[in-house]
Each structure stands twice: as C-alpha cells, then as structure tokens.
Chain A
Amino acid sequence: MGANSHQESFPWKHIIGFLLSLVLTFAALWVALSSGLPLKAVIGIIVLFAVIQASLQLFMFMHVNESDSGRMQTFNMMYSFFIAVVVVAGSIWVMQFVL
C-alpha cells in the first residue's frame, strides 16, 4: 500500500491522541465513580466523553481527513452510524419488555 504522503518524523498526532484518550477515559471513570453527580448527569457526561473520544480517534489514529476516497469514507461513516443506531435503539426497543 503506497507510502503515506503525510509521513512525519515523529508520530506526534498519535501520541497526543493517545494521551487525550487516556485523559478522557479516566475523566469518565472519575465522573462515574466519585463525582457524586445524579445518575442522569453521569450518563450524559460519559456519553459526551465517548463521542468526543471517538471523533478524536477518527482524526488522530484513523486519518479520516487524509484519504483520497472521500465518497467511500462518507458512505462508510453513514453505514456505521446506521448500524450503531440499529444496535442501540433496536436493543432498547426489543428489551423494553424487561426494562
């Protein structure tokens, strides 16, 4: 697979992405375990952290904006989003009878 045209001497992007991911993960852990906030707020905050981290990784590790096949990427993202909704919303709907 041809050489990456954005080759850097040191992988700064990866390191920064990695550190930020760690920070976000531990922040979520702290919010959930010892912040003392009400349950609804905790869930809201950790979902927010998760979304931030997912997008962070898309740019820092997966180079979404560096590819030349934009259409494929858009399609891919839309499909992932569709599956995520199916899995999460679908499960909640299906399992409603025991919730």
Chain B
Amino acid sequence: MKWSEFFVTGEPLIYAADVAIVLTMIGIVFVLTYFKKWKWLWDEWLTTVDHKKIGVMYIICAVLMLFRGGVDALLMRAQLTAPNMKFLDAQHYNEIFTTHGTIMILFMAMPFIIGLMNIVVPLQIGARDVAFPYLNALSFWLFFFGALLFNISFVIGGSPDAGWTAYFPLAGNEFSHGVGNNYYAVALQISGIGTLMTGINFLVTILKMRAPGMTLMRMPMFTWTILITCVLIIFAFPVLTVALALMTFDRVFGTQFFTMANGGMSMLWANLFWIWGHPEVYIVILPSFGIFSEVVSTFAQKRLFGYKAMVGSIVGIAFLSFIVWVHHFFTMGAGPAVNSAFSITTMAIAIPTGVKVFNWLFTIRKGKIRFTTAMLWSLAFIPNFVIGGVTGVMLAMAAADYQYHNSYFLIAHFHYVLIAGTVFACFAGLHYWYPKMFGHILNERLGKWTFWLFMIGFNVCFFPMYFLGLMGMTRRMYTYSDGLGWTPLNVVATVGAVLMGIGFIVLCYNIYYSARYGERDMTGDPWNGRTLEWATASPPVHYNFPVTPVVEDIDAYWVMKKKYGGFHVKEEDLKPIHMPSNSGRPFWMSVAFFVAGFGLVFKWFALAIAGALFIVLGLILRSFEDDDGYYIPVDEIKRMERAARKGA
C-alpha cells in the first residue's frame, strides 16, 4: 500500500477535515497539559467503573456522533437541494449516506440509549452499581474504539460506501475494492461485542440487584423496557457477530460465503443482516418508550395508566420483532407464501404499539400537566411517531411495498420512527435526567427553542419526502435531473434540515450556558419525581444510596414521599459499603482491539496478531486477578452524605 492511498486525498472537504482533526487534537493535548489534567483524566474517567461516569461518557460520544452524522446529513441535503448539483460526486455521496446511516444508528442512537440506561437503571432499582462494573467499563471502551475506528476511515484509507446495510455482492471484494468495507466489518464487530456484554450485564443487574420489595411488577417502566431490550440484544447481536465475521473472512481472507461465484450466497447476507437489524431497531425504540413513560407520568403527575398492559405490550413487541425481518426485502423474490407470512407478523406489531399509545394518552388525560422541555418532546413524540407507524403499516403490505420499496417514502418512514421515536426520547431523557447527571438543570427557555426549531424542522424536512417517494424519487440517488417536479419539495426538505441543525446548535449552547449559569439542583428531586433515582443527591454520591431503600409499590419514591415525607437515612443504620475498584485494563485492552482491528482492515497481519496477543494478555491478567474491591468506612459515608445534602 502506498502512502498516497493510505491517506484519503483529492477532496477539499477532506483536507479541511484533516486540518480540523489535527487542530482539535493539538488543542486537547494542550488544554490537558496546560491545566495539568492528565492524571485527573486517567483516574476519574479512563479507569472508572462507576456506572454514572460511564453513562456520561457514552452520552458525550453520542452527542459528538450526532454532530458527525448530522454534518453528513446536511451535506446530503445540500447536494439534493437542486437538480444536477455538483457539490458531491456519486462516490462521495455513497460514502456519506453509508457513514451517516451507520453512525446514526450504531454510534449515536445506541450509545445515547446505553448511556441513559447506565446512569438511570442502577439508580431506579436502588443498586450501587451494575452487576459487573469491570465488564461495563470494557463495554464502553470497546464501543469507543469501535466508533473511533469507523470514524477515521474517511481520512485514512477511505469510507465504506455500500450503504449501512452493506449488501452483498456490492460490499464484497467483487465490487468494492479498497479498505472501506473492511472498516465497516471490523469496527462494527468491535463495538458490537461491547454492546452484547452490556446486554448481559444489565439483564443480570436488573434480575439480581433490585432493592428489597421491588418485584418485577413494581419496576419502573424504563427499567422494564431496558430488561426486555437486553433480551433483544442478547439474542440478536450474536447473529450480527457471525454475519460480520463471515463478511470479514470474505473480504480479508478471500472465503466465498457471500460471493456470486463459487457457490456463495450473496442474498444470505441480507437475510442475516435483517435477522439482527429488525430487533436492532426495537433495541433503540423500546427504551425510548420507557423514557416517554417516565416523563409523561412525572409531568402529568399521575401514575402510568395501564402498567400491566404496558409490560405485556413490550414483551409482545419484543417477541414479534424476531419474526418480521423479511419485510426489509419483500422485493428480493422469496415468493408469496414467505412474503404474506412476514407481512402479517409485521402488521401485528401495530397492535401492541397501539396499546402503548393509548396508555400514554390516558396517562395524560385529566393530569395536571407541566409543560417542561422533556414533556414537550414526549407530547410531540405521540403524533409524529403515529405518522411513522401508520406509514410503516403501509410498507408492511408486501404487494404495496413493491411500489414504496427503497423510495423516499421509506426514507421518510424510518426517519419518522427513528427521529420522532429515538431522538426525541434521547432529548427528553437528556433534559429530564440532566440534573441527576450534572447537578444543574438545562435551561428551559433554550430547551424549548431547541424543541420548536428541531420539531418543526423535522416535519418540514421529512414530511415532503413521503410525497417525493410517491413521485418516484428513490433513495441513495446522488442527483436528479430537472423537470421531474421534485425540486420544490427538495428545497423545502433542505430548509427543514437546516432548522434541525440550528436546533442542535442551540442545544449545544444550552449545555454551555447551563453549566455556567444554570439553576443548581440542591434537592436531588427537581421535577417532583416518582422513581428511586430522585431519592439520591444530584449528582449522586458514587455509592448512590447510603442504605438500600425498601420498595413498597410502583413509583417507589412517590410512595415514600407520601408516607414518610421522603427517603430518610438514620446515621446509626449506616454500614461500610462495598465498592468495585477502578481498573485501567478495559481501556488498554480496547486499545489492543483497535490496533488489531486496524491491522485487519489493512491486512497488516503482524499488527493484527500483535494486537490480538495483547487482548489475550488482558484476559489472562483478569483471570488471575484477585481484587474484590474495597470498603468505604462509615465515617467516610457520613462525611460524604453531609457534603452531598448541604442545602437540601
């Protein structure tokens, strides 16, 4: 490989990005050195096993990736604003929609959700950390280095360009030379292993570490959705792991699993991809349902309507989500029997989803509603998501799908469910739990600006796309000719995208503004919350609860407040608290994964083997490690509790 191929050359946009990356890195190194923060970074963050800090790191990464994916989106919208634009060429457009889709789903939506669940779930169930804190750190760093590997592709070696679905034979060696799709296979593999471990970790945490009295049917709804999401992760991700491994073998070692020649079966990739892919979209939507349930019931100041029906419908959706995958390729030609069966199972999902929508509406009904930013996102979610859902049922009819398939109608549909579902939920959850994470409230006025700009922009951008699709515009086309009648709606869509971009900038400003001037949360319970996370200080002391709370009903903290006026801790009840020790190994092992992955991408096998050896070394060291954590003495707890509750 020549150096001129190693670095991506020839595009002014890429050179600008090169400069920006180098400057940012110099800036970060300078700031850390100037303020002598290296040790702080290592001790407090890189080696931490605290679920709250890991959650914060996930969310920071997710917001950065939202920026990256958003820039990709704006570039695409710029290119499509008018016919025959020369802003991006075909190859560049291919790379951008591929990285946009992959990053938004795997490196934005997933980590945002996983970040929120890291912060909230242990608090909601009254636990001190997750079941396997060390593993949790490893999950995060694997995700981080997987995402890093994927992101450097656009300046080193070239981006993947076969779509976020990477369909064979296009993604195979027969049609895609270069290293782009190797990045896809290896980076997704590394972060996917992290996700799988997160699924196991939180399943065990929720099943085994709930506070006394919290039966399954008393769990907060967010925790319920995470439990079921973990089941989905555990059963869906292995399919991706295997499919990506086969892809890597095909691309790097020349096997013929998905090739066209020599008995390969290229369409099997699509089949395997969607066996994982459909549960995957539920992995990002179920937790969103959980977030909306929490927010709606808090700000309608009522218990969630139909708790049991909610639980039942989550379980039903999760069950169905494994038997619908063919709806992504009705047009591949599997025949009427297969298509009809999967058409019916797909439409059936609308039933439990409809149940949930009605439950939210009944929760709001006659509630004393407080229109906070988090609540606005949740209220807007309902009608917008319904538009996405109804068009989903339209796509589910196999015969009709031959018309809609891979048109802008589909693009509009899945952005309506992914943005109005997952992204709205992430923003709602961010505003709602922000005081728990950082001890201050995000400014409400700026929050509402973000909400209106983004929500209106979203509809202006994507609603016209339904019609563009019906007018014949297909997805992944990099330009179109004049005189098709598509231009006006495309201009409108781009205006909407810009509005969303402005909304995002206001959000970033809000984060800065609130850190400096935001209202501090001294009570730990700024929203008059209902679940146990609000019984802790904001931000919680690192052991979360000085004594384990006892749960008497759904909405445990609400009941405590009504019965006992809050969560009271008597100093004589305190006992030494057992906590896990920090470790630097998850970090350097993930670096080893990154190095091994980079070697695989470029087929530099010596490097790949060296990285793999370090991974094995990490496993061995961990196996023989004898560290049972440490105890915090009672005096220390007393001191920390007084400090945390100052002002309360």
Contacts and interface: CB of A to CB of B under 8 A. Distances in A.
30 contacts: A1-B131, A1-B204, A1-B208, A1-B209, A79-B231, A79-B235, A83-B322, A86-B322, A86-B323, A87-B239, A87-B275, A90-B275, A91-B268, A91-B271, A91-B272, A93-B338, A94-B271, A94-B326, A94-B334, A94-B338, A95-B265, A95-B268, A95-B271, A95-B334, A96-B334, A96-B338, A97-B333, A97-B338, A98-B265, A98-B267
In this complex, which of B131, B208, B235, B333 has the most chain A Cβ atoms within 10 angstroms of its Cβ?
A: B235
B152 interface: no
Per CB-CB distance, the 10 closest pairs between chain A and chain B, nearest first, are A83-B235, A97-B334, A94-B334, A91-B271, A94-B338, A97-B335, A94-B326, A1-B131, A94-B271, A86-B322
Contacts of A98: 265, 267
A80 interface: yes
Interface string B269-292: 001100100000000000000000
Given A79-B235, A91-B275, A97-B335, 18 more contacts: A1-B204, A1-B209, A83-B235, A83-B322, A87-B239, A90-B275, A91-B268, A91-B271, A91-B272, A93-B338, A94-B271, A94-B338, A95-B265, A95-B268, A96-B335, A96-B338, A97-B334, A98-B265
A87 to B, nearest CB: 6
Given A72-B207, A80-B235, A87-B239, A95 B267 contact: yes
Nearest to B279: A83
Nearest to B272: A91
A13 to B, nearest CB: 15
- The CB with the most chain B CB atoms within 10 A, among A72, A83, A91, A93, is that of A83
Contacts of A72: 207
Interface in B320-345: 322-323, 326, 333-335, 338
Contacts of A90: 275, 323
Q: Is chain A's binding surface mostly helix, strand, loop or mixed?
A: helix
* Among B208, B265, B333, B338, residue most surrounded by chain A Cβ atoms (within 10 Å): B338
A1 B204 CA distance: 10
Contacts of A80: 235
Contacts of B335: 96-97
Contacts of B334: 94-97
Contacts of B333: 97
A90 B274 CA distance: 12
A1 B131 CA distance: 7
Contacts of B131: 1
Contacts of A94: 271, 326, 334, 338
A25 B275 CA distance: 27
Interface in B106-158: 131
Interface string B328-365: 00000111001000000000000000000000000000
A44 to B, nearest CB: 20
